[in-house]
Structure 1
Amino acid sequence: MNWSQIFELIGKLATGIAALAGAWWAVVRWRKQDELFPRVNFEVSANFVGFHGDSVITELVAVLENKGQVPLKIRPFSFKVRGLGKEATLQKGSANVRGQLLFPTLLEEGDFVPASWDHSFVYPGVRTEYNFVIAIPKTVAFIRMQGDFQYLGRQDATHHAAKILAVPTNEALPTLATGDPMPAAKADGEGTAQQAPAPDGARSLALLGTAPRG
């Protein structure tokens, strides 16, 4: 084997090694990006507390569980509740909702995250509950609740969840008499929500006693 052949062989080996190194780096980079991609379990629901006059006192609930490796930061975080009356005629919605059953009455819309907050966050492994209390007319038979949030700094990345619930009848819930005192607040550690301090104006509603999973 002459020097020309030796140099040719070395060149081929170097090219092969460089190709393998490039492929390895691409795999590492892909895995790193995949780890940073948000993994969120997002659910919405409602707790029907009781009757007050012609209304049903209702607690809207949104739950975010961060199953990823990095903190979840969101802003804004809104909700919308639409109703279907007991006497309403059933209609199909437009093509925008793929012809699903129409809930024609907008009952309430608002934000889980106050406008004064920079954003809200959920640390990896933590399950956080957001709440909002409204009054639903007794004439409503069903509600559709939807929650929507946007990943902070990513205007094109949004997430939403929705749920249909039947509004209970008088027999299913207690009646809250006018002038009754509000129930006493639960002590720390009983699952109540509190504001957790955080840097840079960020805030989170964290359930007390909820620890990150290993």
Structure 2
Amino acid sequence: MDVASLVKSLSALVAVLGGLWAVYKFYKRDEHFPRVQFDVDINFIGEKSEQHIIEVVAYLENKGVVPIKLTELEFSLRGLKHDDKLIEGDKSINRQLKLPHKVKDARWLSDTWNHTFVYPGVRTRYTHVTSIGGEYGFLLVRGLFIYESDEDFHTSAKLVEVPKKLKRSD
């Protein structure tokens, strides 16, 4: 075997090994796996006719290198009224405080949307504006989203105290 053939063979071998190494690193680091930060929040906007106007917010931040495509993005809003007793929940809620009143179940995505995207390095904010009665002292929002590619999902939750009286800016 002459030197030229040996160099060609070694070059081909190095190229194949380099490709295999790249694929190995790709799967070892799970770069194809979505990395997302999912947070929910409630913003108190104002009061009108003894109702609190609130904004239920979902934040999705794509910390990975692949776009995230979602088909479901929804929330459940539960409340604890001022006159409710504090009751521990059962095993289904890990014996956490029970918020017995369903205030609202809704989607952040419009029914006309089949899906939404969050691209790598982007933080996206989804909002839903609604109102609650003045009888609530605490609210719990639980958010859920489902990836389009499979049935994997993420959840996020936040408990907030309803302000006794919102400050006016006038």
- TM-score after normalising by structure 1: 0.67
Q: Secondary structure at the match of 1:116?
A: coil
- Answering whether residue 84 of structure 2 is matched by residue 104 of structure 1, we say no
Greater relative contact order, per chain length (Cα 8 Å cut-off, separation 6+): 2
Query: Which AA in structure 1 matches 2:26?
Result: K
Contact 1:142 1:167 in 2 (8 A): yes
| CA distance in 2: counterparts of 1:93 and 1:153, whole angstroms | 34
**1:162 corresponds to which residue?**
157
| CA distance in 1: counterparts of 2:168 and 2:93, whole angstroms | 35
| CA distance in 2: counterparts of 1:29 and 1:115, whole angstroms | 39
Choose which of 130, 136, 139 in structure 1 pairs with 2:132: 136
- Answering whether residue 67 of structure 2 is matched by residue 67 of structure 1, we say no
Q: What value does the CA root-mean-square deviation take over the aligned residues?
A: 2.0
Structure 1 stretches of 4+ moved >6 Å? none
- Answering whether residue 165 of structure 2 is matched by residue 174 of structure 1, we say no
Q: Secondary structure at the match of 2:31?
A: helix
CA deviations 1:55-111 (Å, max 9, x no partner) are 100011110111100111111110110000011011011101110000000001100
In structure 1, the gaps of 5 or more residues are 1-16, 176-214
CA deviations 1:137-190 (Å, max 9, x no partner) are 1110000001100011211x10010000000012x3339xxxxxxxxxxxxxxx
| CA distance in 2: counterparts of 1:173 and 1:106, whole angstroms | 27
| CA distance in 2: counterparts of 1:167 and 1:30, whole angstroms | 51
Q: Which has the larger radius of gyration?
A: 1
Choose which of 73, 81, 85 in structure 2 pairs with 1:89: 85
Contact 1:45 1:62 in 2 (8 A): yes
Identity of aligned residues (%): 36
Count of matched residue positions in the alignment of Structure 1 and Structure 2: 152
